[in-house]
Chains A and B, each alone.
Chain A
Amino acid sequence: AQSVSQHNHHVILSEAASLELGCNYSYGGTVNLFWYVQYPGQHLQLLLKYFSGDPLVKGIKGFEAEFIKSKFSFNLRKPSVQWSDTAEYFCAVIRSGNTGKLIFGQGTTLQVKP
């Protein structure tokens, strides 16, 4: 079935460690890609997005993601995490022509230990 897959369900890191969260999708054709973050008790916030152009996208709070079309991937990275990055991270995809129909991955819980 066509889907969005996040490989890591729960990640635990120490502060200053590097982060990479995997995201793969199985749709062919053009897609718009997103990473959202949900801090404890808060609503979903957009971290970054890719529509076209440079496949390396920089977002807020030092996050970046790289779109690799041949691998159908859009992995999220941060060189050095902070305790405040503890949150739930969601990868999401909109297929071309399906305006607004966000398909979410399962989410990854990131726990950063101080």
Chain B
Amino acid sequence: GAVVSQHPSWVICKSGTSVKIECRSLDFQATTMFWYRQFPKQSLMLMATSNEGSKATYEQGVEKDKFLINHASLTLSTLTVTSAHPEDSSFYICSLTSGRGGNTQYFGPGTRLTVL
């Protein structure tokens, strides 16, 4: 399977600040990456699909101006939580498809965001 990393693994920030989370594909080029959000004791919810070189596709109910996604290269996608508020505190996880496994997604280790 593919190897996916995320940075940082956890971050604490003040309300009103912006936080950038990186997702990297370490062993192959990914044209498409996905961003999920996981609340404690709950399932993963797809936030958006990140497409290399084009605009991300957001799921219904996800504010695109709040969660900025940039997929500038085939190995890096970034999620920026702008003007973060305590309700944005969550576990953010990225994933990608390897292409070799069809629709199989490989997940990063996640980033724990806490907004004070």
B104 in contact (CB, < 8 A): yes
Contact between chains at A51 and B109 (CB < 8 Å): no
Interface residues in B36-88 by Cβ distance below 8 A to A read: 42-46, 49
Bound form: Cα–Cα A65–B110 in Å: 27
Q: Using Cβ atoms and an 8 Å threshold, which residues of chain A touch B93?
A: 43-44
Q: From residue B36, how far is it (CB to closest CB) to chain A in Å?
A: 8
A94 CA to B105 CA in the complex, in Å?
10
A-chain residues with CB within 8 Å of residue B106 when the two chains form the complex: 46
* Assembly CA distance A51 to B102 (angstroms): 9
CB distance from A4 to the nearest CB of B (A): 9
Known contacts A42-B109, A43-B107, A49-B104; A106/B46 CB under 8 A: no
Interface residues on B, range: 20 to 34
The A/B interface has a contact count, at CB < 8 Å, of 53
Distance between A68 CB and nearest chain B CB, rounded to angstroms: 20
Partner of A90, one of B32, B43, B108, B109: B43
From B34, B42, B95, B107, A107 is in contact (CB under 8 Å) with B42
A51 B43 Cβ-Cβ under 8 A: no
Interfacial chain A residues near B16, Cβ < 8 Å = none
Instruction: Say if the beta carbon of A32 comes within 8 Å of chain B.
Output: yes
B49 to chain A: which residues have CB within 8 Å? 100-101
- Given the contacts A34-B104, A46-B1, A100 and B109 also touching, CB distance less than 8 Å: no
Question: Is B97 interfacial (CB 8 A cutoff)?
Answer: yes
Chain B contacts for A16, CB-based, 8 A: none
Contact residues of B with A, CB < 8 Å?
1, 4, 32, 34, 42-46, 49, 93, 95, 97, 101-110
- A residues sitting closer than 8 Å to B (CB atoms) are 32, 34, 36, 42-46, 49, 51, 90, 94, 99-107
**26 A-B residue pairs with CB within 8 Å:** A34-B105, A36-B107, A43-B93, A43-B109, A43-B110, A44-B44, A44-B107, A45-B107, A46-B106, A49-B101, A51-B103, A90-B44, A99-B103, A100-B32, A100-B34, A100-B49, A100-B97, A101-B46, A102-B34, A102-B44, A102-B46, A102-B95, A102-B105, A104-B44, A106-B42, A107-B42
